[in-house]
Amino acid sequence: MPTTHVPTRTRRRHPHHDAPDTAAAFRRLAELDEGPEREALRDEIVRAWLPMAARLARQYRNRGEHLEDLEQVARLGLVKAVRRYDPSLGTAFESYAVPTIVGEIKRHFRDHLWGMHVPRRVQELRNRVRTASNELSHTLDGRHPDTAEIAEHANMTTEEAKAGLEALHSFTVLSLDAELSGAPEGGYSLMDTLGRPEPAYDRVVERESLRGRLRALPERERQILYLRFFRGMTQSCIAEQVGISQMHVSRLLSRTCTRLREEVESGVAG
């Protein structure tokens, strides 16, 4: 089935130098019913506008995303613009396509590249702060503007400027293994500043589990455990102090410890 050729000549009077003249193709597209011919013509229109989509994507390079991925997002925005554009409204296609493509790119940054969830309002503050900071840097002899200057330039409160500045540094997540800036040579990473489980907490739980069970032991077994584990006495010294053989002390220790361990593990109330 023959398809309509889409002219790719550019109109020099238009601000977008890479904007092809596809007005006739869009009018023809609106007349066609859904089918192979309409789909083929739509694809030709998309290909004609690909250079402009690529140019818009390049405007957002060096912002933490690969250019190839940005170009892919821009193409997606272009396809959406071609499918949704209505020439009967009288608006030039490029006037509709440019904000559609740019919006798709910005949405990609907002939804996929933030290292943590940031509310949309804070993301918008970040964008305003970033723009104001860049504009002020050209008029302040190269120095970075302070928070008050950014707030005044962006027509926002100081608190909003602070939130935007904080979000500006939250775009990516710092690795726990990354060495902290300003740390001395052979310094430490963020991981080194994090707390760790305290082993003594487990010991507290174990002691509380045994407290009632120890009180329930016969006096002689309780005394032997105290001398062995709290006084650090040997079995021979315990045997001499209690008045029994060392072998008997060993059997009592083994039997008592085994019973206590089984009670704790089975959850028997003490």
**78 pLDDT exceeds 90?**
yes
Helix 23-31 crosses helix 36-58 at what angle (to 10 degrees)? 140
Rounded to whole angstroms, the Cα distance separating 126 from 55 reads 24
The pLDDT, as a whole number, for residue 247 is 92
The pLDDT score that the predictor gives to residue 114 is: 57
Judgement on whether residues 81 and 101 belong to the same structural domain of the protein? yes
Q: Is residue 18 assigned to a domain?
A: no
Question: Are 79 and 99 members of one domain?
Answer: yes
DSSP 3-state assignment of 26?
A: helix
- Among 42-46, 66-70, 127-131, 137-141, top mean pLDDT goes to 42-46
Domain boundary among 66, 87, 112: 112
Residues 46, 25 contacting (CB under 8 angstroms): no
State whether 101 and 145 are in the same domain. no
Average pLDDT over residues 52-77: 86
**Above 70 in pLDDT, residue 239?**
yes
Residue 61 in any domain: the answer is: yes
Computed over every residue of the chain, the mean pLDDT equals 78
* Better pLDDT: 199 or 66: 66
What would the pLDDT profile of 7-18 be if each residue is shown by its tens digit?
Answer: 544 444 445 566
DSSP-derived letter for residue 170 is -
Q: Give residue-wise pLDDT tens across range 173-190.
A: 555 566 655 555 555 665
d(CA 72, CA 108): 11
Q: Rounded mean pLDDT of 63-75?
A: 83
Do residues 44 and 104 both lie within one domain? yes
What pLDDT score was predicted for residue 8?
A: 47
Q: Answer yes or no: is pLDDT of 150 > 50.
A: yes
Domain of 147: which CATH number? 1.10.10.10
The answer, yes or no, to whether residue 49 has pLDDT greater than 90, is: yes
User: Is residue 77 within 8 Å of 101, Cβ to Cβ?
Assistant: yes
pLDDT digits (tens, 9 = 90+) for 94-136: 888 999 999 888 888 766 655 555 677 777 887 788 788 877 7
Looking at residue 11, its pLDDT comes to: 43
Structure tokens at 147: 């928070």
Model-wide pTM > 0.75: no
- For residues 34 and 108, membership in a common domain is answered with yes
Average pLDDT rounded to a whole number, residues 83-104: 89
Structure tokens at 136: 């002020």
pLDDT value of position 54: 92
Tell me, yes or no, whether 60 lies in a domain. Answer: yes
CB 98 within 8 A of CB 129: no
- Identify the domain containing residue 255 by its residue range: 199-266
Residue 218 in domain? yes
Phi first, then psi: give them for residue 95, nearest 5 degrees.
-70, -25
Residues 104, 151, single domain; the answer is no
CB atoms within 10 A of CB 262: 10
> Two tokens at 50?
């690909």
pLDDT value at residue 133: 81
For 47, the token pair is 């290909």
Q: What is the pLDDT of residue 121?
A: 78
Ranked by mean pLDDT, the top range of 158-167, 171-180, 242-251 is 242-251
Cβ-contact 4, 41 below 8 angstroms: yes
Query: Whole-angstrom Cα distance, residue 178 to residue 218?
Result: 57
CB 193 within 8 A of CB 183: no
Same domain, 91 and 46: yes
Same domain, 65 and 123: no
Question: Both 58 and 130 in a single domain?
Answer: no
Q: Does 1 fall in a domain?
A: no
pLDDT at 74: 92
> What 3-state DSSP class applies to 20?
strand
Please check whether residues 123 and 102 belong to one and the same domain. Answer: no
Instruction: Let me know if residue 186 belongs to a domain.
Output: no
- Euclidean distance between CA atoms 93 and 129, whole angstroms: 31
78 in the same domain as 66: yes
In the predicted model, what is the mean pLDDT of residues 205-219?
A: 79
CA distance 154 to 60: 21
DSSP state for residue 13 in the 8-state scheme? T
The domain tally of the chain equals 3
Flag whether 45 is in a domain.
yes
Same domain, 209 and 159: no
